[in-house]
Structure 1
Amino acid sequence: MSEILIVSDNQSRTDTLKIILTFLGESCRSTSYSDCFDSINKSQSISAVLIDGETPEIAEETIEKFPESPFINIGFQLSGDREFKNLIGSLYEPITYPSLTELLRKSDDYYTANRPISSLVSGKTKLFRSLVGNSRGITEVRELIEQVAPVEANVIILGESGTGKEVVARNIHYMSKRQKGPFVPVNCGAIPGDLLESELFGHEKGAFTGAISARKGRFEMAEGGTLFLDEIGDMPLQMQVKLLRVLQERIFERVGGAKTLKCNVRIIAATHRNLEKMIEEGTFREDLFYRLNVFPIETPALRERAQDIPLLLQELASRLEGARQASVKFTQNAMKSLMLHTWPGNVRELSNLVERLSILHPSHVIDLQHLPHKYQYDETGQVQHENAPADEAAERDAINAMFRYAEANPVIEVSSDSHSDAPVTAVETALPSDGVNLKEYLSDLEISLIRQALDAQDWVVARAADQLGMRRTTLVEKMRKYEISRQKETDNG
C-alpha cells in the first residue's frame, strides 16, 4: 500500500501537512533530513515525497539521488537552474487543498510510471490475476492481449467504466518488448482542455503564465515505453488534430518551443464512449479513430460475466490480505445475491464493496444480511423489501451509540416521523403497552443523533463521528443511507 513521506526539520510545518493529508484520507509519515535517505531507501511504496525546501542544497541533493520517487517542494524556491524530472511541482503557504490534490495526482501518475517492474509483475500468471474469470468474454480478452502484446500496433480498449481497461493496457505493456520502458497513463477527461497540450507535450519556461520552468510532457516521460490515453473520447477536437500528427509523423514540439522532438512511444487508448456515433455527431475525428482502431479490444461488463464473481471475490479478498488488511469471506447466499446485481460500476464497484465490507466486518463471514440493501436479492431476483431484517451489528451499534449519548444528554429529541419537524422525547424506560416498532424507533433516533452531532460540530464529519463514537467512514455511509446532507437541511430549514 502506497504512502506519502514528509521530509522536514520544521515540526510545525510537518504537523500541518499531516493534518491536511489525513483529512484527505492519505497514509503519511514524516522523517528528518538526517534520516530521509534511509527512509526512502527502505520503502518501496512511497507515492510522493513532500520535501521542505528550507535547505535548498540538501533538498536538491535528495531529489537528484532518488529519480524514481516523485517529489513536491514545500515552502521555498529551490536554488539553481537544474531541471529535475521527478520534481512534480512546488507549493507555497498557505497550502490549498486543490493545489495539493492536483500535485498528489501527478505524483501518483509518476510513481506508477516509474516504479521498478519487479514490483509490478512476475510472469504472465501474476499479470492475468487482474483479469480473473473463466467466462467466455474475459477469456477472449486474455487471448487478444497475448496476440497483440508482441507487436507494435496501436490498441483501443472499449468498454463501460470500471471494467478494467487500464488493467488490460498494463498487461499489454508488460507482456510486450517495451516492458522495461515506462507505462505512463493519462486520463484525458480529468485534465482541462487548455492544459492537456502542456500535459501531453510539455512546455518551455515562460510559455504561459505560471510556467516558471521547462517541463517534460507525458510523451517524453513515456519514451521507449507505452502511453495510455484513457477516456480518449473526452479529448477536445483541437487536441485530436495535434495527437493525429504525432501518431502519423512521430514528432512534436513543447508548448512555447521551436525544437522538434522525436518520440518512440506505443499508444494504447481507451474509452467508454461510442466513438463511431461521436464521428457522426462531429465530436470525434474519423481519421484519428482509424489511426487508433488498429486492434480493438472490448472489455465485458460484469453483469455479462456474473459467473466470474465468486473468483473475483476470492481475488479481491486475497489482495486485502496481501496488503495486510482485514479480509472477508462470503457465504453461498451472499455470492448468489451478488451475482444477481446489475453492477453499473462493474469490477470497480465490486472492489469498493469488498473493501467497505472488510472495514465494517473485518475478518468476518459475510452473509446476505450483511450486504447493503441494494445488493440483497431474493430467490426471484428482486431486491428484498426495505423492512427485511437489518444487520444485527448495525442495530447493536445504534443502541450503544444511543446509550452513550443519553448518558451525556439526559433528554434526547427525535422526530416521531422521519418526514416531520416536530420533535418528541425518545428515551423512555417503560415499553408502551401497545408495543413499538424497534427498527423504526432506532432509525429515527439514529437520524436525530447524527443531525445533532453534525450541527454541534458545524458539519465537520470527522468531529461528528468522534462525538458519536464511530468511524468517519461509518458516519458517511449512514448519512448516505438516510440522505442527510447540509444542503438538504438548509433547504428544509
Structure 2
Amino acid sequence: MDLEILRRALACLEPAADAGRDLDAALARLLGALAGMPGLASAAVVLADADNPPAIRAQIGSPDVSLLLEAALERGAAGAAPRVLRRGLPPVLADAKGAVDLPREAAAMLAAPIFAGEDMPGGWLFADGLADGDASLPDALRGLTVLAEAVAVLVRATCVSLARNRDLARETVFLRSKVSLRYRHVFAEGASPLLEPLRAAVDKMAQSDAPVLLLGEEGSGRGVLSRLIHELSPRAVRLFSVFDPAEGEHPDRRLFGVSRGIDRPGVPGCIEETDGGTLLIEQAHLLPPALVERLARFLAEGAFARVGGTRRRMSRTRLLFSAPPQGLAPELAAVAAMAVIRVPSLRERPEDIPILLDHLLSLESARDARRLSLTPKALKALEAYDWPGNIREMRELVSRLAVTAPEDRIDIADIPPEMLAEGERPQVLPEDAAELRDMERQQVLSALTRHGWVQSRAARELGLTLRQIGYRIRKYGLAREGHDDAENV
C-alpha cells in the first residue's frame, strides 16, 4: 500500500516543473490522483506561512472543516507529529515509530505534518483513510506520512518555480520597458505640439484589443509606433509579427495558411502563428479584394479558415494596419470599429529635427566609440531639408555619415549634395578634378607603401589623422598588394 501511495504521489510531482501552474492547482492534481485509493473518501491540504493563517488549499470529498482548522492551529510537539483526530476528544499522537493504540473506528481523520522548509508554507495533510478495512490504523497513518513528504516536495518545487516565474516576469517587465523606451524615443522627446496627442493615443491603444489603423507617409514611424503599442500592451509576452502583402506570392496563404490536402501538409499562416500577439499588416492599401474580404470576416468573427479548407479556427491575434494618408479600402475600414492614429511626417515637426539628429548620432557614437556631432552650418542645412523619406531617411543618412565622414565633427561638405539647397552645395570642381583625385590617391598610396602599410606612420607623414587616412583608403579603394583590404594598424 505504501508503494502504491508513493507511486501516485511521484506521478504528480512532474506538474510542479510546469511554470504555468500555481500551487493550488498542483495540490489539487495530487489529491485528485489519490481519489481512487481504497478507504479514502475525503482529504485536504492545509497550509500556512508567516504572513497568512492556515487555509485549505486543496481538497477532495467533504472533510470536516472545523476539525481540520482546529488541528492545524495546534502548536508545539502536538503540531509536529502524525496523529489521529477524534470528534469531541483530544487527538492521539503517534509514537516515534508511527504507531497509535486506537481501533480503526475511533479515527475521524488522520493528520500528517508537511515540512516544506524555511521561508516556505508548511502545514498538514488530512485524510479519512488510505487503506481498506483490513489495514490497521498505524499502517494508514504511515501511508499518509509518506504522502505528506511527497506533498512537501511538491510545495517546495512549485514555490521555487513560482519564484523563478516572478523573477522572470520582473525581468520581462524591465526589458519590455527598455525596448519600449528605445522605440518610444523618436516620439518621446521633441517640441512639436503634435507629439503629445500622439503619445496619448499610443498609450490608450496599448490597453485595447481593437484593430488600429496607422496613417502616415513612408518612413514616418508607423512601424515604430506599431511595435511600441505591442510592447506597452499585455500582449508584449507574445509574438509581434509583420506581414507585407507585396512581399512574395500568394499573400492569402501567407496570412491565413493552407489546409492539409492529399498532396500537401497543412501550413499555418501569420494570423495563426501570432495567436495572442500582434500582427502589423504593412502597405494595407495594397491588399487584394479577396484578401480584404477574408480579413473583414476575421475581424468580425475572430475566426478564419485556412486557404483550401472549411474548418473554422479561432485566433486572438490583434491586427494593426499601416497605410498612407489616403487610408484603406472602404470594405476593410468599415467592417470594424478601427481606431485611427495619424503619424505626422518630419516636415510637420521641423522643430524636432535637431533632437532626432542628436539622438541618432549618439546611437552611432555609442556603437563606434566616437563622439559624432554636426557643425552649426551642417545642422542648419539639414533643418532646411524637407525629408521626403522622413525618419527612415534620417536614420540612413546618419548611418552613412558615421562611415564616410573623415572627422567626428560632421560638416556641410560631408552631407550628400542632393540634400542641400542650391546655395549650400559645394562648388563644382574644375575639369581637371579627376587629375587632382589621382594625385591624392597616389600620394596616400606612396606613403602607405613607404611605411609598410602602417597607417599611423603614413598619416603622420601626410599630416592626417588615422580616421582621415582611413577615409581616403576606403574612398580610393586602396589595398596592399596580395591583400584584399588594407591593414588597419
Q: 1:354 Cα shift?
A: 0.5
- Asked if the contact 2:362/2:372 (under 8 Å) is kept, the reply is no
Output the CA distance in 2 between the equivalents of 1:256 and 1:296: 33
Give the structure 2 partner of residue 387 of structure 1: 427
Counterpart for residue 315 of structure 1 = 359
Q: Distance in 2 between matches of 1:140 and 1:247?
A: 27
Q: Give the equivalent residue in structure 2 for 1:252.
A: 304
Q: Residue 130 in 1 paired to residue 192 in 2?
A: no
Structure 1 SS opposite 2:194: helix
Pairing partner for 1:341 from 385, 388, 405: 385
Question: Residues 153-302 of structure 1: matches in 2 within 5 Å?
Answer: 153-192=210-249, 195-206=250-261, 213-275=265-327, 284=329, 286-291=330-335, 294-302=338-346
Contact 2:281 2:320 in 1 (8 A): yes
Question: Within 2, Cα distance between the matches of 1:355 and 1:173?
Answer: 27
- The aligned residue for residue 144 of structure 1 is 201
| Aligned match of 2:376 | 332
Q: Secondary structure at the match of 1:291?
A: coil
Q: Is the 8 A contact 2:183 2:228 kept in 1?
A: yes
Q: Distance in 2 between matches of 1:292 and 1:363?
A: 53
Distance 1:389 1:176 in 2: 55
Question: How many pairs were matched up?
Answer: 280
In structure 1, what is the equivalent of residue 158 of structure 2?
none
- Residue 287 of structure 1 aligns to which amino acid in structure 2? E
Kindly provide the amino acid, as one letter, of the partner of residue 199 in structure 1: R
The residue that corresponds to 2:404 in the other structure is 360
State the AA in 2 paired with 1:180: V
Cα distance, 1:227–1:321 mapped onto 2, change above 3 Å = same
Contact 1:401 1:468 in 2 (8 A): no
Alignment-mate amino acid for residue 176 of structure 1? S
Deviation of 1:339 after TM superposition, in Å, equals 0.6
- List per-residue Cα deviations over 1:262-316 (Å, max 9, x = no partner): 010111101115137xxxxxxx3x2311235621111111111111111111211
Q: Aligned ranges for residues 444-459 of structure 1 at < 5 Å?
A: none
**TM-score, L = length of structure 2:** 0.51
Contact 2:385 2:419 in 1 (8 A): yes
Residue equivalent to 1:100:
none
1:279 aligns with: none
Give the structure-1-normalised TM-score: 0.51
Identity of aligned residues (%): 26
CA distance in 2, matches of 1:403, 1:235: 57
Counterpart of 1:400, as a letter, is E
C-alpha RMSD of the superposition = 3.4
Shift of 1:162: 0.4
How far, CA to CA, are the matches of 1:376 and 1:265 in structure 2? 45
The answer as to whether partners of 1:327 and 1:363 remain within 8 angstroms in 2 is no
Alpha-carbon distance in structure 2 between the residues aligned to 1:188 and 1:292: 20
- Give the letter aligned to residue 397 of structure 2: L
Is the 8 Å Cα contact of residues 369 and 389 (structure 1) preserved in structure 2? Answer: no
Amino acid at match of 1:257: G
- Quote how far apart the aligned CAs of 1:465 are: 4.8
Q: CA 1:465/1:229 → structure 2, altered by over 3 Å: closer, same or farther?
A: same
The answer to whether the Cα contact below 8 Å between 2:365 and 2:372 also exists between their aligned partners in 1 is: no
Aligned 8 A contact 1:326 1:359 in 2: no
Could you give the per-residue CA deviations for residues 137-171 of structure 1, whole angstroms, max 9, x where no partner exists? 23321121112221222110000000010111111
One-letter amino acid of the counterpart of residue 192, structure 2: S
Q: What stretches of structure 2 of length at least 5 have no aligned partner?
A: 1-171, 448-473, 485-489
Report the AA paired with residue 269 of structure 2: G
Give the residue type in structure 2 aligned to 1:130. V
* Secondary structure of 2:235's aligned partner: coil
Tell me if the contact between 1:121 and 1:127 (Cα under 8 Å) persists in the aligned partners: no
CA distance in 2, matches of 1:272, 1:180: 29
User: Are 1:157 and 1:297, in contact at CA under 8 Å, matched by a contact in 2?
Assistant: yes
Cross-structure match for 2:157: none
Whether the 8 Å CA contact 2:252–2:291 is kept in 1: the answer is: yes
Q: Which amino acid aligns with 2:274?
A: A
The question of whether the paired residues in 2 share the 8 Å contact of 1:198 and 1:217 is answered with yes
**Offset at 1:327?**
5.8
The answer to whether the aligner puts 1:401 opposite 2:441 as a matched pair is yes
Residues 1:383 and 1:249: Cα distance change in structure 2 (over 3 Å): farther
Structure 2 residue matching 1:157: 3-state secondary structure = strand
Asked if the contact 2:258–2:307 (Cα under 8 Å) also holds between the matched residues in 1, the reply is yes
* SS of residue paired to 1:161: coil
One-letter identity of the residue aligned with 2:232? M
Letter in 2 for 1:270: S
**Preserved CA contact (<8 Å) 2:346 2:390:** yes
Q: Give the corresponding residue for 1:88.
A: none
The amino acid of 1:237's aligned partner reads P
SS in 2 for 1:184: strand
CA distance, structure 2, for counterparts of residue 139 and residue 180 of structure 1: 27
Q: Secondary structure at the match of 1:358?
A: helix
CA contact (8 A) 2:245 2:251 kept: yes
Please state whether the residue corresponding to 2:395 is helix, strand or coil: helix
Kept in 2: contact 1:232–1:269 (CA 8 A): yes
